[in-house]
């Protein structure tokens, strides 16, 4: 009786509150509520928040992926077939793309979402090798869309292509993973999103015919994250000196850049940035990033990479929270000579810097040099967090870390109140 009374109490709620409750569960289970009573029979037909995950159709711990996906495809097709005419606020979709049937289904659902004036669309797909997928034109020309997450994790030689024409006048947030795009298309994408406030470009394959790989020029952009994108020149040899990413965002507050030293950056109008993370590396694997790795670079590469890293710091001279990778410090000082400190002082005095975090610290000489400069020139600095590389508990490593800590604690500081954490 208590269970029936509870159901009746919920049944008396207005539709919009029941919709809110159903938004916390997968659509598979939302549909199953239709058997509770006549009141619930058609509620799911107008739910504005739809969550669809292929794993909800697994049967047991051991299951056949193909059969599971087939059940999922059939279910989602029915969801859109029987839905009423009300608009959809949000769709979250996770799918495995096994073959052309999966691709055709995904395209149908995207078109349905556009026709239902979707505001927020979150698509995550796992793509098996050797499939090419072109994102529907209608999606990147949707007038109602306010946020878009489009993540397709491709395997092998798969390519994910954006449409050649794009217009997203209402979109404020974009997260794009795994797409193949030219530098001109990327520039067009940002120009077609005049209200864009947050953008995440991750693991995309950027093609170019000139010296510029990525061009991001946005007046309203507040947050930009650029993660591990791949670059390919279509008319020249793949050379570390050729890559240049151009970013101009006068209202940017939060900037995260994770990638490879082979990328050159032209950073303009970034004086408004208050939090910045620069996680640049030479190798695919983080374990390969050591002071020794950098010391073995050819002299020409050392100089080029070092100047690039210094430009990062100069571009965000008003930053308040700064996170760096340890290799960043190695290249900052590797081959710039004894005047590197004076040159850095002219471009960025860190007058607003309050928090510094450095990852994969080894306790080497160049790290001490950079931190000495930082402590001496950052009058507002409140906290320094140093995360040490895990290299085992050998006596030599322990002694090096302890010596590093002692050296830092006796350095002169511009700020009278600094908390230094060794983690």
Record the tokens describing residue 109, joined without a space.
């659902």
Residue pair 423/387 in contact by the 8 Å Cβ criterion: yes
Over range 19-36, report the average pLDDT: 93
Classify each residue of 140-174 as buried b or exposed e, where b means 16 or more C-beta atoms within 10 Å of its C-beta. bbbebbbbbbbbbebeeebebebeeebebeebbbb
Q: In angstroms, rounded to a whole number, what is the distance separating the alpha carbons of residues 351 and 35?
A: 64
Q: What does pTM read for this prediction?
A: 0.86
Residue that the structure tokens 């529907």 belong to: 136
**Which ranges of 378-415 would DSSP assign to H, the alpha helix?**
395-409
Q: In angstroms, rounded to a whole number, what is the distance separating the alpha carbons of residues 181 and 207?
A: 6
Q: In angstroms, rounded to a whole number, what is the distance separating the alpha carbons of residues 278 and 256?
A: 6
Local confidence band at 128 (pLDDT 50, 70, 90 cut-offs):
low
Record the tokens describing residue 364, joined without a space.
């080497």
Over range 268-287, report the average pLDDT: 82
Q: What percent of the chain has pLDDT over 90?
A: 41
Task: Give the DSSP H/E element, type plus range, for residue 65.
Answer: helix 65-82
Residue that the structure tokens 């960025």 belong to: 348
Residue pair 288/282 in contact by the 8 Å Cβ criterion: yes
- Pick the more confident residue, 81 or 213: 81
Q: In angstroms, rounded to a whole number, what is the distance separating the alpha carbons of residues 418 and 383?
A: 5
Local confidence band at 308 (pLDDT 50, 70, 90 cut-offs):
confident
């Amino acid at each position: 009786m208590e269970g029936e009374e509870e159901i009746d109490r919920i049944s008396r709620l207005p539709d919009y509150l029941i919709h809110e409750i159903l938004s916390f569960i997968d659509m598979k289970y939302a549909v199953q509520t239709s058997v509770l009573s006549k009141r619930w029979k058609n509620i799911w037909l107008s739910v504005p928040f739809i969550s669809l995950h292929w794993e909800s159709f697994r049967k047991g711990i051991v299951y056949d992926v193909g059969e599971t996906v087939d059940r999922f495809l059939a279910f989602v097709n029915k969801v859109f077939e029987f839905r009423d005419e009300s608009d959809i606020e949000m769709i979250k979709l996770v799918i495995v793309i096994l073959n052309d049937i999966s691709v055709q289904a995904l395209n149908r659902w995207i078109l349905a979402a556009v026709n239902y004036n979707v505001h927020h669309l979150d698509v995550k797909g796992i793509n098996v090798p050797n499939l090419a997928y072109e994102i529907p034109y209608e999606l990147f020309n949707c007038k109602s869309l306010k946020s878009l997450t489009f993540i397709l994790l491709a395997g092998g030689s798969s390519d994910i292509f954006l449409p050649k024409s794009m217009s997203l006048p209402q979109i404020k947030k974009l997260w794009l993973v795994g797409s193949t795009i030219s530098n001109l298309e990327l520039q067009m994408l940002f120009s077609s999103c005049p209200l864009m406030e947050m953008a995440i470009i991750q693991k995309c394959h950027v093609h170019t015919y000139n010296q510029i790989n990525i061009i991001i020029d946005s007046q309203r952009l507040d947050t930009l994250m650029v993660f591990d994108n791949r670059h390919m020149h279509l008319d020249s040899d793949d050379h570390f000196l050729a890559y240049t990413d151009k970013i101009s965002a006068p209202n940017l507050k939060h900037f995260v850049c994770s990638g490879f030293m082979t990328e050159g950056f032209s950073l303009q109008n970034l004086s408004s940035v208050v939090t910045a993370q620069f996680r640049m590396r030479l190798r695919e694997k983080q374990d390969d990033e050591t002071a020794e790795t950098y010391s073995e670079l050819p002299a020409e590469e050392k100089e080029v990479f070092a100047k690039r890293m210094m430009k990062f710091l100069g571009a965000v001279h008003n930053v308040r929270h700064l996170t760096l990778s340890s290799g960043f410090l190695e290249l900052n000082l590797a081959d710039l000579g004894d005047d590197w400190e004076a040159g850095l002082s002219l471009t960025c005095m860190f007058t607003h810097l309050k928090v510094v975090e450095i990852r994969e610290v080894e306790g080497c000489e160049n790290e001490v040099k950079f931190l000495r400069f930082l402590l001496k020139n950052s009058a507002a600095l409140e906290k320094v967090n140093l995360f040490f590389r895990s290299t085992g508990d050998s006596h030599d490593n322990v002694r090096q870390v302890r010596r590093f800590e002692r050296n830092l604690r006796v350095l002169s500081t511009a700020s009278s109140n600094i908390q230094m954490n060794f983690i």
